[in-house]
């Protein structure tokens, strides 16, 4: 056990996974030797494409699946022999899983009732959580009479009312429309900060992960690709998968280097990081500077000339595809905060500048 695990083990709401593995018969491991420490009170996101094992991992923490190997510690306690109904963990299901034969109030009070919390106390806690999640006026309605957003709130309230050590959320917003989703993201985040509970949030939506998380673990094919604070994972992806999953990127292989310049299909690139063999050069489109071809500042490295081949206006920004003289394509974003003269049409000549500090090295 590492030192960080020992510290985490003494704290309520900490989760520690060591070598956790789950293999479904006749398939590659769904979860493959995951080591992970989640801190108390953290908003932690498991991000990955569907089938990457993130939901299976969540279900093992909840107790619905048993790991084939490895250990799970919640608040420092070994969970191997603890069944789901004895874990101080509550889940917000993707489908909400509200009990159709109970009304909103009864749904929320279910967990307390099962724990033997008596009526006056139970009612007080249910009322308090309904106020917090703004569903008090629906108390007597059945789940079938609620809209998607309201059901989502009920599902959340049903988990929070038990004051669990950890709240697990399995793509809870995926069924909602974009506007409601954005509202609930912020609300969920505020609620989590206010209650100070550990939230483990599963999503395949990189934008959602970026908006909400303290830290993100990116998963692919049952393995962790990268764990870190949002900013790190987005700005300094470790490999091509993480770079591409978290957003648009320009990636070029490095075939060699001459002095401090890396050889790439674009030509020689000045890079701030020391070159590693087999690494690729990555730059996010919004970090690329665009100029009229005659207006590019002199005496700066990594300037290339080309023609706009595509311009997609997206409201806040415009996405350009620039074809360089050598035939390479560069994807660039330009925020539309400038006057109209600083926008380009297909066919116009431009210069692109890749500042060395914005170029990251990623592993394949």
197 near other proteins (CB under 8 A) = no
> Distance between CA 16 and CA 35 in Å, rounded?
8
Q: For the window 146-165, what string marks contact with other proteins as x by the rule CB under 8 A?
A: ------------x---x---
186 near other proteins (CB under 8 A) = no
85 near other proteins (CB under 8 A) = yes
> Distance between CA 255 and CA 178 in Å, rounded?
42
Q: Could you write out the DSSP letters of every residue in 44-83?
A: EEEE--TTSSHHHHHHHHHTSS--SEEEEEETTEE-TT--
Give, for 119, the enclosing helix (H) or strand (E): helix 119-132
In this chain, which of 29, 70, 111, 149 binds other proteins, going by CB under 8 A? 111
Of the ranges 22-30, 87-95, 194-202, 230-238, which one interacts with other proteins (CB under 8 A)?
87-95
292 near other proteins (CB under 8 A) = no
- Closest CB to other proteins among 70 and 109? 109
Nearby residues of 30 by Cβ (< 8 Å), 6 or more positions away: 22, 23, 24, 53, 56, 222
Residues of span 30-59 touching other proteins by CB under 8 A: none
Tokens of 119: 């009526």
In this chain, which of 2, 66, 80, 95 binds other proteins, going by CB under 8 A? 95
- Least CB distance to other proteins at residue 44 (A): 19
- Least CB distance to other proteins at residue 136 (A): 20
120 near other proteins (CB under 8 A) = no
Tokens 């590693």 correspond to 276
Query: What is the Cα gyration radius of the chain?
Result: 25
Contact call for residues 234 and 247 (beta carbons, < 8 A): yes
327 near other proteins (CB under 8 A) = no
- Closest CB to other proteins among 83 and 229? 83
> Distance between CA 189 and CA 336 in Å, rounded?
29
Note the residues at the interface with other proteins (CB under 8 A). Answer: 62-64, 83-86, 89-91, 93, 95, 97-101, 110-111, 114-115, 142, 144-145, 158, 162
């Amino acid at each position: 056990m590492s030192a960080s695990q020992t510290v985490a083990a003494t704290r309520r709401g900490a989760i520690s996974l060591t070598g956790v593995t789950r293999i479904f018969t006749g398939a590659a491991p769904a979860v493959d030797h995951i080591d992970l420490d989640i801190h108390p009170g953290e908003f932690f996101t498991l991000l990955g494409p569907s089938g990457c094992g993130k939901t299976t991992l969540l279900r093992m923490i909840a107790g619905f699946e048993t790991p084939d190997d490895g250990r799970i510690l919640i608040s420092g306690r070994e969970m191997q022999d603890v069944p789901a109904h004895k874990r101080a963990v509550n889940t917000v299901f993707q489908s909400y899983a509200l009990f159709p034969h109970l009304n909103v109030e009864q749904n929320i009070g279910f967990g307390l009732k099962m724990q033997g919390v008596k009526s006056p106390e139970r009612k007080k806690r249910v009322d308090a959580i309904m106020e917090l999640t703004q569903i008090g006026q629906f108390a007597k309605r059945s789940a079938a009479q609620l809209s998607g957003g309201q059901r989502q709130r009920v599902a959340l309230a049903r988990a929070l009312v038990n004051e669990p050590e950890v709240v697990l959320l399995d793509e809870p917003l995926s069924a909602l429309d974009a506007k409601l989703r954005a509202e609930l993201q912020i609300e969920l985040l505020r609620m989590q900060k206010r209650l100070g509970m550990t939230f483990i949030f599963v999503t395949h939506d990189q934008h959602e992960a970026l908006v909400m998380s303290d830290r993100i673990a990116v998963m692919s094919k049952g393995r962790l690709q990268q764990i870190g604070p949002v900013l790190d994972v987005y700005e300094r992806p470790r490999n091509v998968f993480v770079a591409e999953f978290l957003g648009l990127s320009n990636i070029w292989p490095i075939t060699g280097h001459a002095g401090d310049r890396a050889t790439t299909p674009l030509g020689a690139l000045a890079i701030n990081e020391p070159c590693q063999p087999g690494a690729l050069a990555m730059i996010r489109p919004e970090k690329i500077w665009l100029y009229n071809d005659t207006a590019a500042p002199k005496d700066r490295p990594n300037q290339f000339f080309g023609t706009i081949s595509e311009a997609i206006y997206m409201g806040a920004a415009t996405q350009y595809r620039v074809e360089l003289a050598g035939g390479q394509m560069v994807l660039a974003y330009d925020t539309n905060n400038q006057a109209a003269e600083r926008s380009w049409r297909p066919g116009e000549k431009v210069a692109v500048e890749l500042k060395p500090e914005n170029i990251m090295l990623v592993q394949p």
